[in-house]
Amino acid sequence: MDRSSSTRIKILPPEVANKIAAGEVVERPASVVKELVENSIDADANEITIILNQGGKDLIQVVDDGVGMNAEDLKLAFQRHATSKIQQAADLEGITTLGFRGEALASIASVSRIEARSIERGQISGTLLILEGGRLMEEKPTGGPPGTSIAVKTLFFNTPARRKFLRADSTEYRHCLTTANRFALAYPEKSFTLVHHGEVIWEVRSQPLKERICEILGRRLEKLLIEVNEDAGAVQIEGYVGTQDTVRRQSGEQFLFLNGRYIYDRSLHHAIVSAYGEILAHGGYPLYVLHLSIDPTRVDVNVHPTKMEVKFADDRLIYSLVRGAIKRALASAKVIPDLQAPGSSFPDQPAATWLKSNWQSSSGPASQPAVDSGGSARQGTPIQPVDLYAPPESTQGQQPLPFQEEKSPETEPVPFTPAGGESAPTMNTQANVWQLHNRYILTQIDSGLIIIDQHVAHERILYEKALRLFEEARPSTQKILFPRMIELSAEDYDILQEILPFLEKLGFMIQDFGKHTVVVEGIPAGTRIKNYTTLLQEMIDDYRRGKRNNLEIRDNIARSYACHTAIRSGDPLNIHEMNALIEQLFKTETPYFCPHGRPVLVNISLEELDKRFGRT
Ligand SMILES: Nc1ncnc2c1ncn2[C@@H]1O[C@H](COP(=O)(O)OP(=O)(O)OP(=O)(O)O)[C@@H](O)[C@H]1O
Ligand SMILES: [Mg+2]
């Protein structure tokens, strides 16, 4: 090659450069929908119509009532790097518009035929342009209402290889619909219409976000949305997360918006999902529609060709703020699976507080000594340990549950009497608590009735207690009178070694006896364990299973322990046991779901009962 005659490196002609850029921005019809609607929103449009034919392969037209463009600007708009949104590099530091690269229209135009028409606000006439492959073919005046309409016809007509790669119309249509849905959910204050093959798919007018969600994603969600609204300083979080009933095996109803832009952020998705805790123990995707507002100078949106991924300056902080906000929202009473009458709502207080105060005001005074199976004071008042199974003296006539053989001094039962204050009234334990079929506990609260599943409730209590015990220095153990020798398989023995430090924290005393044999000498204080061998075996099996599912070790053991040592469905409980159970339940952090995600309680309001009896 003759190097002197010409350079090897050449600047590409604009048509080629645009086509290459189009490869990044325009992947399929849905990408065109995204770019055009973004432009309409940046142009301050309030009404946006999206018209599609053949899944957008044939036609994608976006009509808006935005500020419009004059003839010069309309022509410039199709030039590469032509933008009205930023002027200098420094502007990139705090982008407040959806577009800023001045690339989208040039890229789209380079791979399609375009009919663009725009009339500036306040004018009655404007310009119509016809472009083909990015080249201006025709320009003429036009009239009509102000705004802009960009019609993109036969996408990829001049890049046959890419046109061939488009999927079936129905698939492309689905992608367009997803994109359109995102805008509708991102801007509930704007009106949108989506039309496919002349049929109006949906048409939405300015409305509150909750209503918008129901219109776009379905009326079934009406009762399943929990509001999130927190100003956490670095980030404002607004929107809705779904209850357990919105959890799906597949993703698709997760919408996260940052400063009005739909984003996909794996870490924030994780923050949201992890806030559900064990409700999602078995995986799945809860619905969410969340709007985050963050100072634009703390976010870089210029890291991905379609701007779908962003970079946060304070990513860890944002992660924990989002997670915290969702957790708090979920802890609100609305998460309780209930039989509420349509339209009735829970109070705004955090659920645990609400339930507690409601319950106490019906069945006993709020100054009742706090009862806690774990013995750790978490709510300011000194909490004494109490054995759920140990009936106070006054109930000796009743049938106590069979329980531990021997007690260590720390686990002496504390009778249910007030903590010494003279004015403290006694608890009205006779009233308002019933056991149904030795399985459910019914209790009256101010607003109606709560039904508690005794097994899952106890499971929840023990689970949280176990997690606390892991953090404590001194386990509380009750020695057993007749130590039990257990022979394990080599594999089980191995697993036992792995979990032994945790079992000891819980209060188990297990000695190695050699040859895969161990001796159980003590068990957690205050528990009732019928068969140590079975319990150990079950916990080993659960641990193995949980490990396969990547459960965190403590969580894994705590769940298993709670599940196998909780009172059973079928165990009769006396009134004191029931009261203790309820007290302890309301002290847990998440009283509504057991560690496996099953509901602990159901709330039926008076309103609902009245309705059923035809009183309203
Ligand atoms: N619907 C519209 N109404 C009014 N002006 C528009 C409209 N669409 C595009 N424009 C103008 O055309 C310019 C170019 O649009 P284009 O989408 O190519 O680039 P951008 O939005 O500035 O940046 P990006 O490439 O990141 O989208 C915009 O900056 C805007 O001034
Ligand atoms: Mg744009």
Q: Is 174 in the pocket of ligand 1 (CB under 6 A)?
A: no
3-state secondary structure 462-511: HHHHHHHHHHCCCCCEEEEEEEEEEECCHHHHHHHHHHHHHHHHHCCEEE
**Can you tell me whether residue 343 is helix, strand or coil?**
coil
- Kindly give the distance from the C-alpha atom of residue 554 to the centroid of ligand 1, in angstroms, as a whole number: 53
Confidence of residue 431 (pLDDT cuts 50, 70, 90): low
Mean pLDDT of the chain: 80
Looking at the CA of residue 78, tell me the nearest atom of ligand 1.
Answer: 18
Nearest CA, atom 1, ligand 1: 40
Ligand nearest to the CA of 304: 1
CA distance 147 to 61: 13
- Kindly give the distance from the C-alpha atom of residue 150 to the centroid of ligand 2, in angstroms, as a whole number: 12
Q: Is 67 in the pocket of ligand 1 (CB under 6 A)?
A: yes
Lowest mean pLDDT among 331-335, 522-526, 592-596: 331-335
Query: Does residue 570 or residue 220 have the better pLDDT?
Result: 570
Share of the chain above pLDDT 70, in %: 82
Question: Nearest-CA neighbor of 567 among 460, 410, 476?
Answer: 460
pLDDT in tens, 272-330: 998 887 777 677 889 999 999 999 999 988 888 777 888 988 888 999 999 999 988 88
DSSP class of residue 401 equals: P
Q: Is 64 in the pocket of ligand 1 (CB under 6 A)?
A: yes
- Kindly give the distance from the C-alpha atom of residue 161 to the centroid of ligand 2, in angstroms, as a whole number: 25
The pick from 25, 33, 42 for probing ligand 1's pocket by mutation, whose C-beta has the most ligand atoms within 8 angstroms, reads 42
pLDDT score of 69 more than 70: yes
- Kindly give the distance from the C-alpha atom of residue 104 to the centroid of ligand 2, in angstroms, as a whole number: 5
- Kindly give the distance from the C-alpha atom of residue 212 to the centroid of ligand 2, in angstroms, as a whole number: 25
CA distance 320 to 307: 23
User: Which residues touch 193 (CB under 8 Å, ≥6 apart)?
Assistant: 47, 48, 49, 50, 200, 202, 203, 204
Query: Does residue 515 or residue 102 have the better pLDDT?
Result: 102
Looking at the CA of residue 67, tell me the nearest atom of ligand 1.
Answer: 4
Question: Nearest-CA neighbor of 499 among 441, 549, 558?
Answer: 558
Q: Is 78 in the pocket of ligand 1 (CB under 6 A)?
A: no
pLDDT score of 502 more than 50: yes
DSSP class of residue 309 equals: S
pLDDT score of 98 more than 80: yes
Dihedral angle computed from the Cα positions of residues 89, 92, 93 and 99, in that order, rounded to the nearest 10 degrees: 170
- Kindly give the distance from the C-alpha atom of residue 246 to the centroid of ligand 2, in angstroms, as a whole number: 34
Q: Is 105 in the pocket of ligand 1 (CB under 6 A)?
A: yes
Q: Is 102 in the pocket of ligand 1 (CB under 6 A)?
A: yes
pLDDT score of 418 more than 50: no
The count of other CB atoms within 10 Å of the CB of residue 77 is 22
Confidence of residue 25 (pLDDT cuts 50, 70, 90): confident
Beta strand residue intervals within 164-308, DSSP E: 191-196, 199-204, 225-231, 236-242, 254-258, 261-262, 288-293, 299-300
Mean pLDDT of 345-373: 40
Lowest mean pLDDT among 23-37, 89-103, 387-401, 515-529: 387-401
Lowest mean pLDDT among 32-36, 285-289, 329-333: 329-333
The count of other CB atoms within 10 Å of the CB of residue 489 is 11
What pLDDT, on the 0 to 100 scale, is given for residue 359? Answer: 52
- Kindly give the distance from the C-alpha atom of residue 51 to the centroid of ligand 1, in angstroms, as a whole number: 19
Q: Any bridge partners for residue 119, and if so which?
A: 147
Confidence of residue 505 (pLDDT cuts 50, 70, 90): very high
- Kindly give the distance from the C-alpha atom of residue 41 to the centroid of ligand 2, in angstroms, as a whole number: 9
Confidence of residue 363 (pLDDT cuts 50, 70, 90): very low
Q: Is 268 in the pocket of ligand 1 (CB under 6 A)?
A: no
Q: Please state the pTM of the whole predicted model.
A: 0.61
Looking at mean pLDDT, say which of 1-5, 404-408, 549-553 comes out highest. Answer: 549-553
Looking at the CA of residue 99, tell me the nearest atom of ligand 1.
Answer: 26
Rounded to the nearest 5°, which phi and psi values hold at 56? Answer: 95, -5
- Kindly give the distance from the C-alpha atom of residue 40 to the centroid of ligand 2, in angstroms, as a whole number: 8
What pLDDT, on the 0 to 100 scale, is given for residue 304? Answer: 81
Amino acid, single-letter form, for residue 31 = S
Question: Nearest-CA neighbor of 183 among 118, 255, 99, 116?
Answer: 255
- What do you get for the CA distance between the two ends of the chain, in Å? 93
239: region left, alpha or beta (phi > 0 left; psi from -120 to 50 alpha): left
Lowest mean pLDDT among 79-83, 411-415, 535-539: 411-415
597: region left, alpha or beta (phi > 0 left; psi from -120 to 50 alpha): left
Mean pLDDT of 143-152: 96
- Kindly give the distance from the C-alpha atom of residue 436 to the centroid of ligand 2, in angstroms, as a whole number: 63
Q: Is 40 in the pocket of ligand 1 (CB under 6 A)?
A: yes
Mean pLDDT of 496-518: 89
Ligand nearest to the CA of 41: 1
Q: Is 66 in the pocket of ligand 1 (CB under 6 A)?
A: yes
pLDDT score of 382 more than 70: no
Q: Is 339 in the pocket of ligand 1 (CB under 6 A)?
A: no
Query: Does residue 87 or residue 237 have the better pLDDT?
Result: 237
Share of the chain above pLDDT 90, in %: 43
**Can you tell me whether residue 188 is helix, strand or coil?**
coil
Q: Taken in order 268, 270, 274, 276, is the CA torsion positive or negative? A: positive
What pLDDT, on the 0 to 100 scale, is given for residue 48? Answer: 98
- Kindly give the distance from the C-alpha atom of residue 304 to the centroid of ligand 1, in angstroms, as a whole number: 18
Amino acid, single-letter form, for residue 332 = S
CA distance 436 to 448: 17
Looking at the CA of residue 66, tell me the nearest atom of ligand 1.
Answer: 3
Q: Is 39 in the pocket of ligand 1 (CB under 6 A)?
A: yes
Q: Is 82 in the pocket of ligand 1 (CB under 6 A)?
A: yes
Nearest CA, atom 12, ligand 1: 77
Report, in angstroms and rounded to the nearest whole number, the Rg of the chain calculated over CA atoms.
32
Confidence of residue 401 (pLDDT cuts 50, 70, 90): very low
The count of other CB atoms within 10 Å of the CB of residue 47 is 16
- Kindly give the distance from the C-alpha atom of residue 540 to the centroid of ligand 1, in angstroms, as a whole number: 62
Q: Is 114 in the pocket of ligand 1 (CB under 6 A)?
A: no
CA distance 531 to 602: 32
Q: Is 99 in the pocket of ligand 1 (CB under 6 A)?
A: yes
